[in-house]
């Protein structure tokens, strides 16, 4: 039976300072992410082990394959688990500031340039009503990158889109340091994006 565990952070809690504060990182990882892990394991137990032989991203891509009684909880907790797992990986204390290579080329093609991509992404993230995520995803149908937003813990996988980079704009992600100033949080977050990691995800897409 698959049991999910809280993934370790690839850096210490205080290493994203001053952009993301230590206290927020601790609570976000140890309390919020842990709650998604626990909720996911419990939800999967409730639908029975035969229903979930695959990794959570595959389950989310085909939610209808699990019993209807569990779909809502697995959408929420599974999305919460996988969204945060990726979120930690796509941040680093040693950000190189901008992408290179094939990903940079794609920004030029689909967003004119990297600076404009950041502008559009930031605007969409700031405009999300309530809790949700802003994403850079790969659209497999049209073979292109795009920006989408999702409410709550909805994952791009449920839309059959591959998440490359995601920004958590739930208040728990920024309220201790930034209070109601979400735009300041979004602006600060660009300083810790791990473009090496995002580029590798993009380069290794199964297409």
Q: Where does this chain bind Mn ion (CB under 5 A)?
A: 168, 170, 173
Q: Which is nearer to Mn ion, 84 or 111 (CB)?
A: 84
CB of 173 to Mn ion, least distance (A): 5
CB of 153 to Mn ion, least distance (A): 8
C-alpha–C-alpha distance, residues 180 and 159, integer Å = 30
Residues contacting 153, CB < 8 A, separation 6+ = 36, 75, 76, 77, 79, 80, 83, 133
CB of 116 to Mn ion, least distance (A): 27
Residues contacting 109, CB < 8 A, separation 6+ = none
CB of 181 to Mn ion, least distance (A): 17
Q: Which is nearer to Mn ion, 168 or 199 (CB)?
A: 168
C-alpha–C-alpha distance, residues 150 and 163, integer Å = 11
CB of 172 to Mn ion, least distance (A): 5
Residue number of the CB closest to Mn ion reads 168
Q: Which is nearer to Mn ion, 80 or 99 (CB)?
A: 80
Q: Which is nearer to Mn ion, 136 or 145 (CB)?
A: 136
Q: Which is nearer to Mn ion, 170 or 178 (CB)?
A: 170
Q: What is the H or E stretch that residue 135 is in?
A: strand 132-139
The CA distances from residue 78 to 66, 198, 202, 204, in Å, are: 13, 21, 22, 23
């Amino acid at each position: 039976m698959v049991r999910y565990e809280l993934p370790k952070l690839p850096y210490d809690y205080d290493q994203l300072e001053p952009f993301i504060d230590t206290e927020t990182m601790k609570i976000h990882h140890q309390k919020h992410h842990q709650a998604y892990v626990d909720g996911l394991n419990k939800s999967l137990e409730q639908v029975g082990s035969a229903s979930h032989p695959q990794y959570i991203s595959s389950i989310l891509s085909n939610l209808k394959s699990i019993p209807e009684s569990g779909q809502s909880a697995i959408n929420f907790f599974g999305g919460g688990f996988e969204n945060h797992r990726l979120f930690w990986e796509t941040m680093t204390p040693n950000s190189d500031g901008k992408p290179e290579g094939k990903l940079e080329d794609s920004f030029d093609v689909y967003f004119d340039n990297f600076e404009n991509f950041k502008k559009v992404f930031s605007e969409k993230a700031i405009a999300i009503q309530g809790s949700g995520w802003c994403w850079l995803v790969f659209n497999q149908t049209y073979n292109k990158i795009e920006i989408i937003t999702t409410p709550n813990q909805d994952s791009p996988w449920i839309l059959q889109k591959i998440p490359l980079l995601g920004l958590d704009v739930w208040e728990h992600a920024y309220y201790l340091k930034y209070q109601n100033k979400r735009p300041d949080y979004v602006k600060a977050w660009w300083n810790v994006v791990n473009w090496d990691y995002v580029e590798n995800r993009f380069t290794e897409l199964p297409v």
